[in-house]
Amino acid sequence: MSAKIFKTIVLATLILLAATVSTRPASAQENSSPYPAMAPLDQYLMADRDQEIALAKSAAPPALASDASVLVLEKDGYHTAIEGKNGFVCVVERGWISPLDSTDFWNPKLRGPICYNPPAARSILPYTILRTKLILSGMTKDQMVENIRSQVADGLLPLPEAGSMSYMMSKDQYLGDGPGHWHSHLMFHLPRGLGAASWGADLDGSPVVFDTVHHVSGPEPETIFMVPVDHWSDGTPAVHQH
C-alpha cells in the first residue's frame, strides 16, 4: 500500500475517532461498548508461551527481533522471557494500552506486537509495563491515570528519550475490532507538545502521520508520529487486513 493511501485511510480513521470521542461522554461509550468492563484475566493471557514470544518478535524484521529481549504477560504483569543482546525489547500489548475512550480498551482479543528500540525501551516501555501492572492490580482507569500522572509529576517516570521509536510490522497484529490487522508501520515517540508541523506530518506527499487521537489524551507525556511501511516483518507486501 502506498504512503499516500495509507495516510488517507489513517487520517479518515483518526477524524472519525476524534468525532466519536468528542461527541460522546466516556460513560456512554463504556455502556455502549461490547467490552464495558474487564473480562476474566485468562482471556487476556496466552496459554502458549512460545506462541506469545513468536508473536512479539513478529513486530520487527527477524534480523532485529532475533537478538531482542522479549516480555510475556503473566497474571501480575509482564516478565522477561528472553534476555536479548541488541537492546531492543519486543512485547505483545493488550487492549488497556489503547486510548482511554477506546471501545477496545477491555477487548480481550486485542494483540499488539511491538518492538521498542533501546531509547524507547528505556523511556516508553516503562509506561506499558506500569499501565499493565496497575490494571492487573485491580485499579480503575481513573486510578491508573492518576497514578501515572503522579509518578510523572514526581519525576519517577522518564520522558521520551531522543531517538525513541518502535516497530509495528506484524501481519498477525490485531489492534481492535475496527482496525483489525491494520497497517505495517513505524512509530516515533517524542515529548508531548509537538505539533504536526514539526515533522511535516499530514502534508500532501508527506509519508508522516500525526497521531491526533491515540495517546494524546492519555497520561503518558508523549507525541507519536507514524510512518507506513510497504511490507510486513516477514517481507511480504503489507496489504491492509481487517
Question: Residue 230 above 90 pLDDT?
Answer: yes
Report the residue count for the chain. Answer: 242
Cβ partners under 8 Å of residue 115, min gap 6: 56, 57, 59, 60, 64, 65, 68, 88, 89, 90, 91, 166, 167
Average pLDDT, the chain: 88
For the CA atoms of the chain, what is the radius of gyration?
Answer: 17
Question: Residue 7 above 80 pLDDT?
Answer: no
Q: What is the mean pLDDT of residues 193-210?
A: 89
The CA-atom distances, in angstroms, between 152 and each of 58, 102, 139, 158, 221 are: 31, 23, 18, 7, 8
Question: Residue 83 above 60 pLDDT?
Answer: yes
Domain of residue 205, residue span:
3-228
Residues 44-61 pLDDT 10s = 999 999 999 999 999 999
Higher pLDDT, 188 or 218: 188
Residue 242 is assigned to a structural domain of this protein: no
Global confidence as pTM: 0.86
Residues 168-181 pLDDT 10s = 999 999 999 988 88
Residue 140 is assigned to a structural domain of this protein: yes
Residues 69-79 pLDDT 10s = 999 999 999 99
Residue 237 is assigned to a structural domain of this protein: no
Low-confidence winner among 50-64, 95-109, 142-156, 208-222 (lowest mean pLDDT): 208-222
pLDDT at 25: 44
Residues 113-131 pLDDT 10s = 999 999 999 999 999 999 9
pLDDT at 216: 62
Residue 169 is assigned to a structural domain of this protein: yes
Residue 238 is assigned to a structural domain of this protein: no
Residue 241 is assigned to a structural domain of this protein: no
Specify the number of domains making up the chain. 1
Q: What is the mean pLDDT of residues 176-191?
A: 91
Residue 133 is assigned to a structural domain of this protein: yes
Residue 130 is assigned to a structural domain of this protein: yes
